[in-house]
Amino acid sequence: MGKRAKITIVGAGNIGATAAHWAASKELGDIVLVDVVEGVPQGKGLDLAQAGPVEGFDARIVGTNGYDETADSDVIIITAGLARKPGMSRDDLLKTNAKIVHECASKAAAKSPNAVIIVISNPLDAMCTVAHRASGFPKHRVIGMAGILDTARYRAFLGMELNVSVEDIQALVLGGHGDAMVPLVSYTSVSGIPITQLIPKDKLDAIVKRTRTGGGEIVGLLKTGSAYYAPSAAGVQMAEAIIKDKKRILPCAALLEGEYGINGLFIGVPVLLGKNGIEKVLEVTLTNDERADLHKSAAGVQELVDLL
Ligand code: TXD
């Protein structure tokens, strides 16, 4: 009889606590919330556990300020770090969050040497490099969450425009998690119908543009922080694919070593996600423009990694 899966979420703030909420409601496994603030992970963990009798989920949920309780986790989701405020770019978070992610990744990895790490902290692609170096894990067990969120924003905007179920909208957004990300119009469809048959080019271009700045749009509205419902849901979708060995094909930040002509950087690409983490990186055919955009996005990531 297999034991219940165990998920550690480092950072019990907006994204971490909401990720715990999604994971508990999906009954993915036991959950450990880690944070540096005394009482916050403990209080949120206890409160969420008390929702179990109402929502009907069984999960051991604990909060802690250390890592002992995280031992032997299957998945470690790293959300610790500062979030943007209006006027800040994701890049402004680099130095501070690199220190935080390095500490969290190394401490969590030491307790769970066989886990898959899902990185969420920004600037995402560079933070994946930090977590990869700090954990010493093989590249297939360090994965960044951004592409699923960026694609979800793109799909949500398309659903609003077409007034169709977002479940029938399939799309891919590649590249770094920044304004230079690459929504692939040529891979966007509604139940297999190419999107270009359903939306005129000018409206499609406007939606692509709004997708690229989707994070900033929410930071501007909230003023005190950044998005967390969709980012946390995206991270939990990755955890579910790993825990249930679902073999999903999803856009995630993966360490590329030659794929797409990129070497040594974590960049958003389609990956096959299962129990071993990234089981394959899929190289899709790109137009020359799409490939150029991908390389431009990668150049932005390289600049950040060079500053680490
Ligand atoms: O698509 C994506 N990947 C992005 C990621 C989408 C949205 C926002 N994203 C980034 O996630 C955001 O820019 C931040 O870098 C992280 C977390 O965002 P969140 O909104 O959850 O920030 P909060 O609410 O400030 O929570 C961060 C928590 C907070 O409770 C801190 O006390 C804690 O992190 N923290 C730590 N926990 C453990 N260990 C250390 N060292 C630590 N430092 C801070």
pLDDT tens digit string along 181-206? 999 999 999 999 999 999 999 999 99
Which among 129, 174, 208, 192 is positioned nearest to 282, based on CA atoms? Answer: 174
92 burial via Cβ count (<10 Å: 0-12, 13-18, 19+):
middle
Please list, residue by residue across 248-277, b when 16 or more beta carbons sit within 10 angstroms of its beta carbon and e when fewer do: bebbbbbbbeeebebeebbbbbbbbbbeeb
Q: Active-site residue 177, yes or no?
A: yes
Give the pLDDT band (50/70/90) at residue 84: confident
Nearest atom in ligand 1 to the alpha carbon of residue 15 is 21
Residue 8 beta carbon below 6 angstroms from any ligand 1 atom: no
Domain ranges of the chain: 6-144, 147-307
Residue 120 beta carbon below 6 angstroms from any ligand 1 atom: yes
Let me know: does 28 contact 4? Beta carbons within 8 Å: no
Q: Domain 147-307 maps to which CATH number in 3.30.1380.10, 3.90.1150.10, 3.40.50.300, 3.90.110.10?
A: 3.90.110.10
Q: What per-residue confidence (pLDDT) applies to 243?
A: 98
The average pLDDT across 76-96 equals: 89
Cα 219 to ligand 1 centre (Å): 14
| CATH 3.40.50.720 is the classification of domain 6-144 | yes
